Every structure is written in structure tokens, then in C-alpha cells.
Amino acid sequence: MAYDSEEGGDPRGSWCPKCQLPVRPGEPATRMHFAEDPYGHLGMSGKLWHGACAQPFWDTITPLLERLKKLGG
């Protein structure tokens, strides 16, 4: 599967890690940060995710972040 010939600019600009498709300018997108990937080495954190792709993860990471806050505080 190659998206090199995808129209609409540089397809390598921002890729959604969830669906493996480019996040196009103007689309709803969220920059995500995961506790499991604080430096983005896993290709999860610091990336733009489609809003719809990121949304299910909020349920997952929000309790995690709350727990970390409690541990740290």
C-alpha cells in the first residue's frame, strides 16, 4: 500500500497512527500524548490523530493520567 501519489500536498506531513491515513489540513485533529510513550518513540505521542480516531483513547488515557497525578502528588 503506497500513498505516495496521494493528492493534496505532502502525504508524510502528518499521519494518524490509528488508521494509518494522512491527517489533512482542516480535518478535526488532536495531538495526543500517551504515558506509555512519553518521548514519541513508539510513534504514538506528539502525533496528530484524527479527532474521531483519538476520541476512544481519551477514555483510556484520562484515568491513566489521573492515576499518575495521584501517584506523583
Sites of contact with Zn ion (CB under 5 A)? 16, 18-19, 50, 53
CB-nearer residue toward Zn ion: 56 or 73? 56
Measured from the CB of residue 40, what is the shortest distance to Zn ion in angstroms? 17
3-state secondary structure at position 62: helix
d(CA 67, CA 73): 10
Q: How far is the CB of 39 from Zn ion (least distance, A)?
A: 22
Residue 42: what are its φ and ψ, rounded to 5°? -85, 0
Q: Smallest gap, in angstroms, from Cβ of residue 33 to Zn ion?
A: 16
